[in-house]
Chains A and B, each alone.
Chain A
Amino acid sequence: MNQMVIFSLLLALVVVAIDAWSIAALKRKVRQRSLEADS
């Protein structure tokens, strides 16, 4: 299998992971605020 193809696929996976991680960070921020509001 061509190395460029594998690299492209891994790159796509990394991009999706970074995007999902940024959403998870936003989720943590919202949860943190709701905890602060409760206390």
Chain B
Amino acid sequence: MSIMQRIMRLSSPPVFLRLSAQASCWLGWAAAIMALIGFGYALFFAPVDAQQGDVYRILYIHVPTAWMSMFLYVLASLYATLHWVYRTKVSAVMMRALLPTGAWMTLLALVTGALWGKPTWGTYWVWDARLTSELILLFIYIGLIALASMVEDESKTDRALALFIVVGLVNIPLIYFSVVYWNTLHQGASIGMAGASRMATEMKLTLLLCTLAVWAACAALVLARARWMLLWRESRQDSV
């Protein structure tokens, strides 16, 4: 079986229902274990920052949730595009299931960022490019969730929702590159694909574990929601 055939097989509702049930369970447990170790280490054992003191530990929550807020949106856009091309039920429920978790991650990133900003910058909020574009992402998520729940028969709004999700994707590069192209109070990336990191290895590994924990938690929640959304659609079809 080719890779493409394997991917296409995942869009079959019975296969997706079976795999998502198993995956969400395993990912949930993995998230709990990694969170316990990662956040436990971040709180009690990771070294104190020389300039910021203990308050920098908020970044172990802020950075993974901020990454996840963008990653989940990109993933929703991918499923929205797939839905435009193939119109499968799985792509429709996946793009919908990603939105609430993405919105929660954006809210968490904004609130934890504000809590970190007050003792570090001296203010909870500034209208700089990074913060404002992240706030716009939250508004986009809320708008899309409102659109998704406007009509009782969800399948009728799938295509419109997919279109709006893809249009909203324009905000993601704006968020990511805002600290590069504009003069912002928000600092630039401490970890990048290229070049040496400015973080201590111990802090970087802790952040990596916390990020994996948040990723696994999001994946478990999204897969579980997508599974029940799909079952809801199937039950609607059965009852009609």
Contact = CB atoms under 8 A, between A and B. Distances in A.
A39 interface: no
A38 B231 CA distance: 15
Contacts of B57: 2, 5
Interface in A14-32: 15-16, 18-20, 22-23, 26-27, 29-30
B101 interface: yes
Interface stretch (B75-83, B103-111, B166-174, B192-200): B103-111
Contacts of A29: 232
A2 B235 contact: no
A1 B197 CA distance: 27
Interface residues of A, number: 24
Which of A12, A26, A36 has its CB near the most chain B CB atoms (within 10 A)? Answer: A12
Centre residue among A20, A23, A27 by max chain B CB count within 10 A = A23
B interface residue count range (under 10 / 10 to 19 / 20 to 34 / 35 or more): 20 to 34
A23 B61 CA distance: 23
B140 interface: no
Contacts of A2: 53-55, 57-58
A1 B100 contact: no
Interface of A: 1-2, 4-5, 7-9, 11-12, 15-16, 18-20, 22-23, 26-27, 29-30, 33-34, 36-37
Given A1-B54, A8-B115, A26-B225, 15 more contacts: A1-B43, A2-B55, A2-B58, A4-B55, A4-B116, A4-B119, A5-B55, A8-B116, A18-B104, A20-B224, A22-B225, A26-B232, A29-B232, A30-B228, A37-B239
